[in-house]
Amino acid sequence: MTTATAAGQGRPRQQGARRPWLRAPSIIPGFGLTFGVSMTWLCLIVLIPLSTVFVKTAGMGWGRFVEVALSERALAAYRLSFGASLCAAFINACFGLLIAWILVRYDFPGKRVVNALVDLPFALPTAVAGIAFTALYTANGWIGQFLDPLGVKVAFTPLGVVITMVFIGLPFVVRSVEPVLADVGLDVEEAAASLGATRGQTFRRVILPAILPALLTGFAMAFARAVGEYGSVIFIAGNMPYETEIAPLLIVTQLEQYDYEGATAIATVMLVAAFALLLFINLLQAWSRKRTVD
Amino acid sequence: MQGGATTESRLARAIIMTVGLGFLALFLVMPLVVVFGEALKEGLAAYRDAIVEPDALAAIRLTLLVAAIAVPLNIVFGIAAAWAITKFDFPGKSLLITFIDLPFSVSPVVSGLIYVLLFGAQGWLGPWLEQHDIQIIFAVPGMVLATVFVTFPFVARELIPLMSEQGRDDEEAALSLGASGWQAFWHATLPNVRWGLLYGVLLCNARAMGEFGAVSVVSGHIRGETNTMPLHVEILYNEYNFVAAFAVASLLALLALVTLVLKSFLEWRYDYHGKGSGH
């Protein structure tokens, strides 16, 4: 950075030389090309297609939008999508923290394998996860056959939805907490212990506050991912309207019935929720970074 | 260290390990095992038949084709965006980064829907496309577009932090020694970021081959024509052809495992590389 400024100042500036209005001067070429390519591609692939949802919704009129987006069936779908995601994100926060703790603090044989395995939900195609969990949890499935006599039904119930959402959200919490937990100095913990804190007190008063922003970030990311998730959930969900139908599935159902208005209205609700979550996550990350720098 | 101030008691430690690893076994290992178990339930012959069947082969070919188009497009975009963002200062940069990350927060279903609204029969460009006899939705171009959308951020978001950490000194040195911009990129930038680039490409490819929701919405599910492997898995599963469904799924699971192994290798190599060059 410093050399960039020095180089910029060191060059004799010609009288009346045109200053680029968009960017600070630099001797590195290629701004026009790379910025142009990025912006064009971004507009064509992301921004223009995304705008179709909002334009179509705007053309619908407010009354019609409310009627479609907040219909009984849609409301039931949001309740399931957001409710199950919240449960799953909460479970992820607890177990994700535990697993991050194990990976950061303990040494054990096979740690490298466990570490790699944590990212499985990122790498395993969602449809594969979907049929795998269904095969595990149906009444005569590998795990389901033991739960069924106890009266616990997982497949084709909201519980099944929560379980697959736990799967897809887990790495977000682990990967978000891990680096921050590794940064919490043992010296702080020693200080706490030498002042008479028990291990539990040290965790609650010293470690937890330090990792809280990262934990919340992971929680929010897992939640955001689960809300929009489709592939892994639809196989195990049962997909009964009003009961086990998630919001993304409702969009697909309406598309298949050529009800573009209905699909778009629900997509708008999902997009607005996603953008709100994205903003929230960005704020959390800024907070987390500030904490780490301090 | 035993019973020290900064460790848990042996009992607490055993409990934490058991609960944590038990959770991983239940949620990560079991699904993998069940995929291979169900796929091989009726023996190797049935497994082989499910994979060499023409529709399955067509699905494999289409999956490879879609990834072969979508991944290079996102590599070019990722490098261009990272170059513009890290080598220059301009207003609105953080907004641009947020926009690049946007596809990650959009539901896969919505990612497919937006292209239906744009190119579908009732979409903005639908009538024009129909006049010119171009089919995008329910055809391969739509599936490529949806895949490009969902994998959009992978390469860029890997390169941006890496290239901004590297700074601009190397390129400026190369340029002041008379290199052209391309030469500076090939000889100064690329060697520094090659592992990061590979890492991004790896994740991009895994997602491109495994994407289900977005591709499902735009594909139209035409057997043998617009079915990628994940969509083929769904069709087989819904036909109660479980062995075949899990056989094709096991190929995707293998892809995921290979991705994880390569990823771990790159992380190891990456760290080593970072330390070696004195950062």
* Residue A287 amino acid letter: W
* Nearest CB to B117 within list A52, A120, A186: A52
Q: Give A226→chain B minimum CA distance, Å.
A: 9
The structure tokens 């490409």 sit at: B201
Q: Is B133 exposed, middle or buried (0-12, 13-18, 19+ CB in 10 A)?
A: exposed
Mean pLDDT of chain A: 88
Cβ pair B145, B115 in contact under 8 A: yes
Q: Residue A12 pLDDT more than 70?
A: no
* Nearest CB to A228 within list B34, B79, B108: B108
Cβ pair A246, A77 in contact under 8 A: yes
Q: Fill in the DSSP letter of residue A17.
A: P
Contact across the interface for A230 and B108, Cβ inside 8 Å: yes
* Residue A24 amino acid letter: A
Q: Dump pLDDT digits (tens) for A239-278.
A: 889 989 999 999 999 998 989 999 999 999 999 999 999 9
Q: Give A113→chain B minimum CA distance, Å.
A: 9
Provide the pLDDT for residue A30: 86
Number of Cβ atoms within 10 Å of the Cβ of A139: 13
Q: Residue A13 pLDDT more than 50?
A: no
Q: CA B210, B213, B216, B217: dihedral to nearest 10 degrees?
A: -150
Q: Residue A19 pLDDT more than 70?
A: no
Q: Nearest-CA neighbor of A216 among A97, A85, A80?
A: A97
Average pLDDT over residues A65-85: 94
Q: Which residue in B has a C-alpha nearest to residue A135's C-alpha? A: B34
pTM of the model: 0.89
> Between B94 and A102, whose confidence is greater?
A102
Is residue B200 within 8 angstroms of chain A, CB to CB?
no
Q: Fill in the DSSP letter of residue A149.
A: G
State the pLDDT confidence band at A74, using cuts at 50, 70 and 90: very high
Provide the pLDDT for residue B224: 75
Provide the pLDDT for residue A188: 82
Contact across the interface for A1 and B167, Cβ inside 8 Å: yes
The residues, any chain, with a CB within 8 Å of residue A77's CB and separated by 6 or more, are A245, A246, A247, A249, A250, A266
Give the A window 225-284 contacts with B, CB below 8 Å. 227-231, 235, 248-249, 251-252, 255, 258, 260, 263-264, 267, 270-271, 274-275, 277-278, 282
Average pLDDT over residues B152-166: 92
Provide the pLDDT for residue B81: 95
Could you give the ipTM of this predicted complex?
Answer: 0.90
Token code pair at residue B146 = 């949806």
Backbone φ and ψ for B223, nearest 5 degrees, come out as -55, 135
State the pLDDT confidence band at A20, using cuts at 50, 70 and 90: low
The Cα–Cα gap between B183 and A100 comes to: 43
The structure tokens 């692939």 sit at: A45
Which of A61-65, A165-169, B1-5, B59-63 bottoms out in mean pLDDT, i.e. has the lowest? B1-5
State the pLDDT confidence band at B271, using cuts at 50, 70 and 90: low
The Cα–Cα gap between B258 and B202 comes to: 10
Question: Per residue, what are the HEC states of A192-223?
Answer: HHHCCCCHHHHHHHHHHHHHHHHHHHHHHHHH
* Residue B30 amino acid letter: M
Which of B82-86, B235-239, B265-269 bottoms out in mean pLDDT, i.e. has the lowest? B265-269
Give the A window 99-158 contacts with B, CB below 8 Å. 99, 101-102, 105-106, 108, 112, 114-129, 131-133, 135-136, 142-143
Cβ pair B202, B263 in contact under 8 A: yes
Q: Dump pLDDT digits (tens) for B12-26.
A: 899 999 999 999 999
> Between A293 and B117, whose confidence is greater?
B117
State the pLDDT confidence band at B5, using cuts at 50, 70 and 90: low
Q: Give A99→chain B minimum CA distance, Å.
A: 5
Q: Which of A120, A257, A281, A289 to mutate to test the interface with B (most CBs of B within 10 A)?
A: A120
